[in-house]
Amino acid sequence: MVTGSIVLILLAGVISWAAWPVPSSYRTEDRMIAVKTGPGGDQDVTLDTRLYLPKSADASHPVPAVLLAHGFGGTKLDSVSDAQSLAEHGYAVLTWTAQGFGRSTGQIHLDSPDWEVKDAKNLVDWLARRPEVRKDSANDPRVAAVGGSYGGGLSLLLAAHDRRIDAIVPMITWNDLARAFLPNGIGGGPENGVFKKQWAGMFFGSGGSMGGTAPVAQPRGPRGADPSAAQCGRFALDVCQVYLEMATTGRPSARAIDLLRRSSPAGVLDRIKAPTLLIQGEADSLFPLSEADANAKGIAANGTPVRVAWFTGGHDGGQGPQSDQDRVKFLTAQWLDHYLAGKGAKPNNSFTYSRISGIDASGDGLVAAGFNVADYPGTGGTKTERVTVEGPPQPAANPPNGNPAAVSSLAGVGGAIGNLASGMTIEVPGQHADFYSAPLAKTTDVTGSPTVQLKVASPTREAVLFVKLYDVDANGQPTLPNGLVAPVRLTGLPTSIDQAVPTTVTLPAIVRRFEQGHRLRITVSTSDQSYLSPAAPTVYTVAANGPVTLPTAAGTPLQSPSVIWRYVLAGLVAAIALALVVLIALSRRRLRRREQTEDEYAQTPLVVRGLRKEYADGFVAVSKVDFAVERNTVVGLLGPNGAGKTTTLRVLMGLTYPTAGEILVFGQRLKPGAPVLSRVGALVEGPGFLPHLTGYANLELYWKATGRPEAEARFDEALDIAGLGTAVHRKVKTYSHGMKQRLAIAQAMLGLPELLVLDEPTDGLDPPQIAEMRKVLRRYATDGRAVLVSSHLLAEVEQTCTDVVVMHKGQIVASGPVDDIVGDSPSVHLDVSDVDLAENVLDELGIVRTVAWSGGNSLVVDLDGTPRAEVVAALVKAGIGVDRVVPRRRLEDAFLALVGGDTKASGER
């Protein structure tokens, strides 16, 4: 039985995909497509597009299509790697630059159904005319809409306005744009919301003149140009005026709310019939989890398949840890494959979420733990815990013009930092009230929107407040989860706190583990850097005595696949005895084979056989890897990002277990704590030393930690090979980066291990240091020792390594000596006595494709199937001396040929 589910991710308009199968090639077409758009469909706009087509796609073999939309401020170029991966997976992919951005004409209308959505409908029409795209019927292509943030909003609106859309994957996007920019933690409409000035200002500022294109001329009224037009840049005038109005007054007009809601999925969710995968970020002060919650409920109410996934990133938190990214890649691919391509099992509609669970022991950063819930519980959770906070009524001063202001998050970065470093949140003394709980009696996992009741009094009978839930650890250190706050606008307040009635405030949805012994702190601030607060100074009185409700949604942890063997008992003693006999025989046979294998490879430093690493969600990081590292060799492990190199090294160092296959080190199977590891030295993380100690003292301290005798360290020999010289007796804080890297190499060499494994040893070094490191590694691979080095510097690998192993998409595509991999060259270097005469002779003979001078007396001649001997003969016959003929092909040429020019990431963990 295989258990587990997937979580997700994506960031403003960019998506990443699973490790697809071995790619088929694709071709691209760039063109400017003219469309008719606008309320009357009579406005001309030209869109900058790029179509990616699998090479095998044609009229007889049409393929499904994907409209891939970018985020706000982006262009079609933001989607290149994702579009390539989809094309390799067999989809036709159309990317484009939305009007008002980049080279596309038109203005920014915020995904208006009359403009950007109509543009996208025109693109669906264009796809329907392509013979390579599969059709459901005439003018109805098989097509999905995918995008994040601005592109996510478009995918929802397009599905509502065009029934031809067969599946959508909207990511970190909005439900109600008016509520998103004018939220109010006590409910109600945006007319009483608090203006999210920082995010709005960022969008307005960045949209003024995008992509180097000049601002668009604005229409003139009866009295000439609108005075605000000069400030509008590429925004449509009505959008611009709405922003200027709200930014000035902090309150929206009916016109502003109407415009924002025309660009909101909220009013058209009942029209969405395309199966919808909603991916939303937990670290997102722009479009919080409540926006996806509203979209999910509205779409599902009409029977449309919906799945919701939360991840630890978002507009403030980026893509989240690698473990989160991997889950979303698989989840997204699974959704498109079934609902668009019609293959694979039907995805279930369960809910997945994740939370930061720690730091990866391999040094890859944070790790997110994933969880699965059978039915989506919404932001209210499946049940709630109640924790009481207490404290006397407290005054809180509202500063004039909101200055100074508290800092909870900084648009685009603050939430992510605030989740990890509580020092990034700032509360201004005298401008907030705090209410604490007792230490928690048990650990509580919150999944959803907490609530709290407040009483507030104000001399003006109105108040704007910012309510926050802090996690306070046993040392009194507070952390504001993801920097999220609930802005609240209250009216009709009493002037005395004794007359105040409780008001329930709904806090932003979070995923947070509150540990036993920690305390909750409700903080009510009068200002926030991200929002517009009243300009007039005043002092409010705030009380919060009562329960804080904490929603929970107990999820099943994502686990590694497990296999349950089912035994069928025959009931006959003879059959059981026979089975035992067979089992014993097989065990002995396996033991003999293992002993034979150990004997066979006892002198080989490293053998990797049939290595496979598959994660619980089905993501395959390494599918099949076989290679060996022999004595006296330096083997380079090469591959584009996501090829599986890091995963292979992590398995090799015992940091993670393989799903299948085995690794033999001197014939012994590798496992954590195996004695054979004493024969292996490794540098798989950046160098880290105590700066106040000398390099030598750091090495001594490291060796003592191994528990091995000092005599076995062989300090002098390791230092001599590393070439540290007298610098080893200086304090590490005086070292350059290159010296620290050498010290790290020396540390890995202590004891002169017979196998040295290095991950990017030349990282950050300058050219002279890289050249010296080259010598270090070659010196080490003598006397029966061997080196395995992972690097992305192909020229260095070519000059350093004796052998290479090239990985791509989790598989080995080539391995062997460098010279064999490089192979014959299609071009040569020629050193000749007369460069000018040689160029003329070869040009007149027409036996080469190109000739180029490369400095001195050297020519680079690109042969076009002409034998080298014939070229040399022609030159000698003309009286030209030929001193040297050298093949020019480099490892880089061979590498690109092996991976088909594909050097982008494919989803490696």
Concatenating the DSSP letter of every residue in 12-26 gives TTB------SSPPPE
With a cut of 80, say whether residue 49 has pLDDT above it: yes
Query: Three-state DSSP class for 2?
Result: coil
Catalogue the E-assigned strands of 374-509. 383-390, 394-398, 432-437, 444-448, 451-457, 462-472, 478-479, 486-491, 503-506
Which residue's structure tokens are 């601030």?
Answer: 525
pLDDT value for 58: 93
- For residue 99 the two structure tokens come to 């009007």
With a cut of 50, say whether residue 420 has pLDDT above it: no
Read off the pLDDT band of 540 (50, 70, 90).
very high
pLDDT value for 677: 78
Residues whose CB is less than 8 angstroms from the CB of residue 486 and which lie 6 or more positions away in sequence, other chains included: 183, 185, 466, 467, 468, 505, 506, 507, 508
Task: Classify residue 508 by its DSSP letter.
Answer: P
Read off the pLDDT band of 365 (50, 70, 90).
low
CB 572 within 8 A of CB 598: no
With a cut of 90, say whether residue 158 has pLDDT above it: yes
With a cut of 50, say whether residue 303 has pLDDT above it: yes
- For residue 372 the two structure tokens come to 């699965």
Which residue's structure tokens are 């019939």?
Answer: 273
With a cut of 50, say whether residue 658 has pLDDT above it: yes
| Average pLDDT of the chain, as a whole number | 82
How large is the average pLDDT for residues 31-43? 95
Query: Three-state DSSP class for 69?
Result: strand
Q: What whole-number percentage of the chain has pLDDT above 90?
A: 45
pLDDT value for 132: 96
Q: Are strands 444-448 and 620-629 parallel, antiparallel or unpaired?
A: unpaired
Angstrom distance (rounded) from CA 345 to CA 704? 55
**Between 583 and 670, where is the model more confident?**
670
Angstrom distance (rounded) from CA 459 to CA 467? 20
pLDDT winner (highest mean) among 384-398, 757-771, 781-795 = 384-398
Angstrom distance (rounded) from CA 829 to CA 207? 51
Helix residue spans in 282-384 (DSSP H): 289-300, 322-339
Angstrom distance (rounded) from CA 616 to CA 622? 14
Residues whose CB is less than 8 angstroms from the CB of residue 84 and which lie 6 or more positions away in sequence, other chains included: 26, 52, 902, 904
Characterize 466-505 residue by residue with b for buried, 16 or more Cβ atoms within 10 angstroms of its Cβ, and e for exposed: bbbbbbbeeeeebbbbbbbbbbbbbeebeeebeebeebeb
**Between 344 and 147, where is the model more confident?**
147
Find the range with the poorest average confidence among 406-415, 565-574, 862-871.
Answer: 565-574
Q: Which domains does the chain have, with CATH numbers?
A: 26-175+264-376 (3.40.50.1820), 184-261 (no CATH), 391-556 (2.60.120.260), 606-821 (3.40.50.300), 824-888 (3.30.70.100)
Q: Is the peptide bond before 23 cis (omega within 30 degrees of 0)?
A: no
How large is the average pLDDT for residues 702-707? 82
Read off the pLDDT band of 418 (50, 70, 90).
very low
Which residue's structure tokens are 């691979």?
Answer: 781
Read off the pLDDT band of 586 (50, 70, 90).
low
Read off the pLDDT band of 363 (50, 70, 90).
very low
Query: Considering only CA atoms, which of 22, 6, 313 is closest in space to residue 148?
Result: 313
CB 368 within 8 A of CB 355: yes
pLDDT winner (highest mean) among 442-451, 593-602, 639-648 = 442-451
How confident is the model over 332-359, as pLDDT tens digits? 889 999 999 999 889 988 999 998 876 5
State the SS3 of 354-366: EEEEEECCCCCCE
pLDDT value for 686: 62
Angstrom distance (rounded) from CA 443 to CA 440? 7
How confident is the model over 795-817, as pLDDT tens digits? 777 778 888 888 888 888 778 88
pLDDT value for 814: 79
Query: Three-state DSSP class for 64?
Result: coil
- For residue 632 the two structure tokens come to 């006296």
pLDDT value for 229: 54
How confident is the model over 244-295, as pLDDT tens digits? 999 888 899 999 999 999 999 999 999 999 999 999 999 999 999 999 999 9
How confident is the model over 733-745, as pLDDT tens digits? 998 887 888 888 8
Angstrom distance (rounded) from CA 515 to CA 195? 34
With a cut of 80, say whether residue 207 has pLDDT above it: no
Angstrom distance (rounded) from CA 645 to CA 758? 12
- For residue 725 the two structure tokens come to 């010289």
pLDDT value for 570: 38
Distances (CA, A) of 193 to 197, 337, 371, 464, 488: 12, 41, 34, 9, 7
Query: Considering only CA atoms, which of 544, 392, 411, 362 is closest in space to residue 470?
Result: 544
With a cut of 70, say whether residue 650 has pLDDT above it: yes
pLDDT value for 645: 83
How confident is the model over 74-92, as pLDDT tens digits? 899 988 888 888 898 899 9
Read off the pLDDT band of 590 (50, 70, 90).
low
pLDDT winner (highest mean) among 402-406, 648-652, 688-692, 770-774 = 402-406
CB 487 within 8 A of CB 531: yes
Read off the pLDDT band of 501 (50, 70, 90).
very high
How large is the average pLDDT for residues 465-484? 94
Sheet holding 26-37, edge to edge: 26-37, 43-54, 92-96, 65-69, 143-148, 165-171, 276-281, 306-311, 351-359, 366-373, 556-557
Concatenating the DSSP letter of every residue in 24-37 gives PPEEEEEEEEEEEE
Helix residue spans in 149-220 (DSSP H): 150-161, 177-181, 197-206
With a cut of 90, say whether residue 157 has pLDDT above it: yes
pTM above 0.85, yes or no: no
pLDDT value for 362: 42
pLDDT value for 14: 34
Residues whose CB is less than 8 angstroms from the CB of residue 575 and which lie 6 or more positions away in sequence, other chains included: none
Angstrom distance (rounded) from CA 623 to CA 677? 25
How large is the average pLDDT for residues 779-800? 82
Angstrom distance (rounded) from CA 22 to CA 28? 19
How confident is the model over 871-899, as pLDDT tens digits? 888 888 888 888 777 665 556 666 665 65
How confident is the model over 808-842, as pLDDT tens digits? 888 887 788 877 766 655 677 778 888 888 888 88
**Between 411 and 331, where is the model more confident?**
331
Angstrom distance (rounded) from CA 810 to CA 23? 12
pLDDT value for 464: 97
Q: What whole-number percentage of the chain has pLDDT above 70?
A: 82
Helix H or strand E encompassing 420: helix 414-420
Read off the pLDDT band of 507 (50, 70, 90).
very high
**Between 575 and 554, where is the model more confident?**
554
CB 89 within 8 A of CB 82: no
With a cut of 90, say whether residue 760 has pLDDT above it: no
Compute the chain's Rg from CA coordinates.
32
